[in-house]
Amino acid sequence: MTYKRIHNFNAGPAALPIEVLEEIKTDLIDYKGNGLSVLEMSHRSKAYDEIIKNAEKDMRELLGIPDNYTVMFLQGGATLQFAMVPLNLLPDNKPADYINTGTWSTKAIEEAQKLGKTPRVIASSEDKEFTYIPKNFTINKDSAYLHITSNNTIRGTEWQSFPETNGIDLVCDMSSDFCSRPVDVKKFALIYAGAQKNVGPAGATVVIIRNDLLERSPKNIPTMCNYKIMAKEPSLYNTPPAFTIYVIGLVMKYLKKIGGLEKMYEMNKAKAKILYDRLDKNDFYRGTVEKDSRSLMNIPFRLKNEQLEEKFLKEAKAAGMEGLKGHRSVGGVRASLYNAVPKESVQALVNFMDEFEKKNS
């Protein structure tokens, strides 16, 4: 069946694979002969047990998550993880190191400060408006962990490789590039990611935690913020975001079907190249981040004549391209090219950019 679909460049919630949407549609009224939808079923039912177990199993397979890690689907967004990480991992008020690469890292640092913890910023790219990933930094030996943000959704920078921490636990906010490329999970002590960019709709945050860290969770923190309690019966201490987890499961199945994360990564590199090549062609458009820090997921750019940006966005929208306005804190244009954004959409954007240049230069 064909649908009228926009070119979806939203930063999150964002595009989902059409195959996944089709499957949701098929399942919606009567989930596989159960006579009810996933929206209506008990999270303790046999049918749901299978859904959540398969979502976890497929995620483990895709990412190669070792057995000594627990996978949880929690609520409160990645934003709650800014607090849960220090609440659970710094019970004795040991200091922790943070690298500040933009708005979301800044929020993670502020949240740790609010809780009376000691986040130490060992590197920051604020001096150049967060347009690069810092390279030179020394991790303190007494640090409980190093916190980084793998992809900076607003500024469009991404860690190309992850830092060597020499035994210090690495904690990573992977919200906006989770499952967009393979990662070596055992390099991380904890990974968290809001679902709503690459792996599903809003409502669940994936937390992958190495089991020994669970022993650090103090007893006197709220139950819903306690990793140890949440991990005991993963994601089922209380009612989980059931429908979101179901969709995450479908996305995992889809990613496996297309060839896994290596394949997804190849596709993402090819898509981003189309747009970066266009930005590098001449100076009518200008990418805003340093080349060796460029994100495959979020690509911000400006027009040489910034006065034309409003017109650009208006005409792009009229041509069926949505979500291109830069984040309200930085302005300009930003195209988010998450997993489910097809190559054809990126090509359509570049064609539109060429046309717009011709008419306006």
200 belongs to the binding site for ligand PMP (CB under 6 A): no
**Closer CB to ligand PMP, 30 or 322, in the complex:** 322
**107 has catalytic annotation:** no
- Residues 78-97 interacting with ligand PMP (rule: CB under 6 A): 78-79
Smallest gap from Cβ 79 to ligand PMP, in A, equals 3
Instruction: With beta carbons less than 8 A apart as the criterion, state whether 332 and 301 touch.
Output: yes
Please count the helices (runs of H) and the strands (runs of E) in the chain: 9, 14
Are the C-beta atoms of residues 169 and 28 closer than 8 Å to each other? Answer: no
Task: Tally Cβ neighbours within 10 Å of residue 182.
Answer: 15
Residues pairing with 149 in the sheet? 173
Tokens at residue 92, please? 């004795």
Residue in 104, 159, 169, 325 annotated catalytic: 104
- 121 pairs with which residues across the strands? 98
Tell me how far, at minimum, the Cβ of 219 lies from ligand PMP, in Å: 26
Q: Does 158 bind ligand PMP (CB under 6 A)?
A: no
Residue with smaller CB distance to ligand PMP, 77 or 182: 77
Between CA 105 and CA 94 the distance in angstroms is 19
* Choice from 17, 194, 241, 323 touching ligand PMP (CB under 6 A): 194
| CB of residue 87 to ligand PMP, shortest distance in Å | 16
149: contact with ligand PMP by CB under 6 A: yes
Q: Rule CB under 6 A: which of 95-114 touch ligand PMP?
A: 104
What are the tokens at 265?
């990564």
**Minimum distance, C-beta of residue 194 to ligand PMP, in the bound complex (Å):** 3
Q: Which of 58, 169, 173, 177 is catalytic?
A: 173
Residue closer to ligand PMP by CB (options 41, 203) is 203
Q: Does 153 bind ligand PMP (CB under 6 A)?
A: yes
Q: What share of the chain is helix, strand, coil (3-state, %, to 5)?
A: 40, 15, 40
- Phi, psi for 253 (deg, rounded to 5): -60, -40
Instruction: Check residue 175 for interaction with ligand PMP (CB under 6 A).
Output: yes
As a whole number of angstroms, the distance between CA 266 and CA 300 comes to: 21
Q: Which residue numbers are catalytic?
A: 104, 173, 197
